[in-house]
Structure formats: C-alpha cells, structure tokens
Amino acid sequence: MTNASRRTVLTALATAAVSGPLLGAVAASPAYATDEFDLYTSNTDLYTKLAGKEGTEFARRYKRHEYLDTSLGERYPYNRTTIMAMHGGGIEMGTSELCLGIAGYHPATLAPLQDGYGVHDYWMFEGLRSSNNRELHVTAKNNDDRVALSMAAGSLNVLSLHGCTAAQAGTANPQAVVVGGLNERFKTLLKAEFGKAGIAWRDGNDPEVRDLAGINPDNPCNRTMLSKGGQLELTTELRAAMFSVNTRAGRAGSTTEVYDRFVRACRAATAALEKDADQVIL
C-alpha cells in the first residue's frame, strides 16, 4: 500500500444510519492518525529532497499583517487568529480557497471581503503537480515549517482546514465536516454556526472519528499561545459542492453558495471567539 494516505485508508463502512440535525456516531472501526504512508518525514525533509521544485511541484503562501504600536501610553489591536491549509492545492482540494476565504480574502482576486469581520493571517502549503499530489502530504503533527510554526506560536487561535472522505467521517450525509482541535470553545462556536448555515457536522470527540480529531499537541493548530485551536475536516463531497469548476485552476473563480455559507460560518465563529476573555493579552 505504497503512497496511500491515512486519509485514504478508509474506516469500515457505517452500518447504521445517522438521524437528527447533528451527525451522531455510526458503527465503524476506530481510525488513528498516522504518518506511515507519507513519503516525507517532515516539511523540512520535503523541502530538502525537492530542492529547486518550489513553484513547480509545490508552493507556500502566507500573509502576516503588519501591526504597529509606537505609542508609550496607548495600546493598539494585534492579530489573534491564523488560518491554515497544510495540504492545499491538489493535495486536499478546496482547502487553499477556503483558507483564503476564511482569512477574509477573495480566493481569486485576493481582495478583502467586505463582511465586517476583518482579515486574519494565513499560511498554506500547496501541491502544484498535475497528478500524484498525494505524495506531497505531510501529516500535520510532522509539519515543522518554521514560518507556519512561528505564526501559530504568535497567534491566540489557529483554524486549520483539511480534507477527508465521507467514509472516514462516518456520516450518512456525504456533505459534512468533522469539527476538531483542542479548543472546545472554538468547536462549540463553529458547530453552532454550521447549524445555522445548514451544514452537517460531526464532533471530533466521537471515538469513531478520532483519526480526524486534531487533538495532537504537536499539530500546528494546537501550537498557539493558548496551546489549543480548531481543525476542520471537510468531506470530498462538501468541498466539491463549493466550486462549479472543481480544478486547481478553476476553483478560485467559481465558488458557490455552499462555499459562501461555510466561509461565513467560520468567520462568524472566529469573530465570536475573539471576543472571549482569554483573547485579551494584558
């Protein structure tokens, strides 16, 4: 089983239907996050072995917004949240475009969104190959990109976007998201907003989806100032519904209302989180 991702090693198919507005547990074999099928042990390993291939086989994009405090007596705002897509481009399709959208930018033009929620920092790693992008997958806990880790460490919150299959998510509704990470407050806000937006979700705390839970402390989503963050695992079907032209070149300019609802839900949840008491640095 060479070149197979833990995201393609499917859990046993569900044997019971899921009912109700939330996606409950189904009968499936436990799955655990693993890097045993990755070709590269870390991002550094990938960058070293693919030296000279950046821009043709893979890419890194990020934005750190400039914040200044030059006053002796006044305090000024600072960036609290970073959005990440560690397997963007052709690896887990749609996550790059979602990363930009949730950060507050149109994925095609990079124009700031005018929705009142402002902008966030973002970081992404993208596969650019015409095929075999799976080979560029580095499991999140092994992501040692220095920019990514420094951005996470300098943020109170990280929201990380990933892709999975409906079988891995164990959902009756194939268009669903597994809500994970160690920040339970963030998860509560995200689940509430997904409910309002009509997006089916499942809690990463469910034992059957522990492979998608995003609870490893070495996962960059949890390597924040607060040592906790959020992770979203979107099924292939949910991501496909977000674009009318589902290709790497076509996605950014062909987002659908499903994409808009998902982005809006994430941005609303993030805005609510940033109002919490633990979001203030004295």
User: For the chain, which residues make up each domain, given as ranges?
Assistant: 43-65+78-274
pLDDT at 24: 39
Distances (CA, A) of 241 to 81, 215, 234, 246: 26, 27, 11, 9
What's the predicted TM-score (pTM) here?
0.87
Contact 181, 147 (CB under 8 A): no
Domain 43-65+78-274: homologous superfamily in CATH: Poly-gamma-glutamate hydrolase, zinc-binding motif (3.40.630.100)
Please give the average pLDDT of every successive group of 10 residues along the chain, which has 282 residues: 36 31 35 67 98 98 94 87 98 98 98 97 98 96 98 97 96 95 98 98 94 96 97 98 96 98 98 95 76
pLDDT at 34: 52
pLDDT at 239: 98
Q: How far apart are CA 32 and CA 29, in angstroms?
A: 10
Q: How far apart are CA 220 and CA 67, in angstroms?
A: 22
